[in-house]
Homo-oligomer: A and B are copies of this chain.
Amino acid sequence: MSKIRVGVVGCGAIGREHARRIANLIPETELVGVADFFQEAAEKTAAQFGVKAYASAEELIHSDDIDAFFITSSDPSHAGYVLEGLKAKKFIFCEKPLAQTSSDAEAIIKAELELGKKYVQVGFMRRYDRGYSEMKRIIESGEIGDPLMIHSAHRNVSQAPGFLSNSAITQVAIHELDISRWLLDDEYEEAQVLEVRQSKSTKGDWKNPLIVTMKTKSGQRIDVEVQCSEAFAYDIQCQVVCEDGLVNLPDPMQVTVRKDAKIKKGLMTDWAQRFIEAYDIELAAWAKSIAENGEPNGPNSWDGYVACCTADALIKSRETGVPEKVLTIDKPELYK
């Protein structure tokens, strides 16, 4: 079988990381070229991997040398490149978010529906983390009964400049919006942001902490403690409570030290380390599913769209102070 010829649009840190995986790590893929809004960045990355620097994202997307491409450019450019890629009938791996608004995401859904096949995968990499995927396996095995609730926490040590108050939802809780639906295998009915007494430790001008809650159509409840910054560690917790038991996401593996009448174990502070292995598994699975089935089998346009709609409801709920309906179109057959 010939290799999947891949391009990368967006040559920042995450783009170069994915380029390295495509070029070196994944046997089914071949890195063909890169593009960036800044041509110099594209050329530097192209040189690093010995591939072509395209003059523009559009040129890369429509090139006959490209079977699939990654979108790792700035958030506002995502939806446009996805639509362009669908026109060209290319496989698209789009880092989250799929779109800035739910209507943009809906346009992607419609374009993909017209093609009648899944072309798009969204970069919700947590689904590929060994901890979360083992939780999913246990829930699906039925050994602890049906899932009823999720208690989770997403705690961050710091945020980069440009972080705004709603980024708590669109950049932080977004991961829990996706992983909770996936673990519970249900869609959201409503969502709400709860205000909490604020931490004096917070250095940014965002709200911190917050509690984000969702309710699914079958009545399952999810609560997410969100600490945008100044938490004691980069600490990700997830507990799924089922009818006959519960399952917990583990803390990262760390040595324990006994000293000064204490048992001590380290926690991570760098988020980039926490799910690093998940990215490798994610890209390998993406390539394998295309090579074997001619279609990606990971989080799809619908998942990206629902994340946008849920974020919309949460942001509205911050204004109204009450739970807001998560409004979506009916789920098309393609995504069931």
Q: Footprint of B on A, CB under 8 Å?
A: 24-25, 27, 130-131, 134-135, 138, 143-146, 148-149, 151, 153, 157, 194-201, 209, 211, 216, 218-221, 223, 225, 230, 232-233, 235, 241, 243-269, 277, 322
> A253 vs B248: C-alpha distance in the bound complex, in angstroms?
12
> A248 vs B223: C-alpha distance in the bound complex, in angstroms?
18
Contact (A149, B225) CB under 8 Å given A198-B219, A232-B245: yes
Chain B residues closer than 8 Å to A149, beta-carbon distance: 196-197, 209, 211, 225
> A268 vs B130: C-alpha distance in the bound complex, in angstroms?
13
- Check B243–A201 contact: CB distance below 8 A: yes
- Check B223–A195 contact: CB distance below 8 A: no
> A277 vs B273: C-alpha distance in the bound complex, in angstroms?
14
Chain B residues closer than 8 Å to A143, beta-carbon distance: 259
A267 (CB) vs chain B CBs: closest residue = B261
Chain B residues closer than 8 Å to A268, beta-carbon distance: 261
Copies in the complex: 4
- Check B264–A263 contact: CB distance below 8 A: yes
Chain B residues closer than 8 Å to A220, beta-carbon distance: 196-197
The 9 closest A-B pairs by CB, nearest first: A245-B259, A197-B219, A253-B253, A199-B243, A233-B261, A263-B265, A232-B245, A201-B243, A248-B256
> A312 vs B10: C-alpha distance in the bound complex, in angstroms?
57
- Check B246–A232 contact: CB distance below 8 A: yes
- Check A148–B253 contact: CB distance below 8 A: no
- Check B131–A257 contact: CB distance below 8 A: no
- Check B255–A252 contact: CB distance below 8 A: no
Chain B residues closer than 8 Å to A130, beta-carbon distance: 253
> A209 vs B143: C-alpha distance in the bound complex, in angstroms?
19
Q: A232-B245, A322-B322 are in contact. List 15 more A-B contacts (CB 8 A).
A: A24-B27, A144-B232, A148-B199, A151-B151, A151-B225, A196-B221, A197-B221, A209-B241, A232-B260, A233-B258, A247-B255, A248-B255, A248-B256, A262-B266, A264-B265
- Check B261–A266 contact: CB distance below 8 A: yes
- Min C-beta distance of A316 to chain B, whole Å: 17
Chain B residues closer than 8 Å to A260, beta-carbon distance: 232, 245
Chain B residues closer than 8 Å to A241, beta-carbon distance: 209, 225
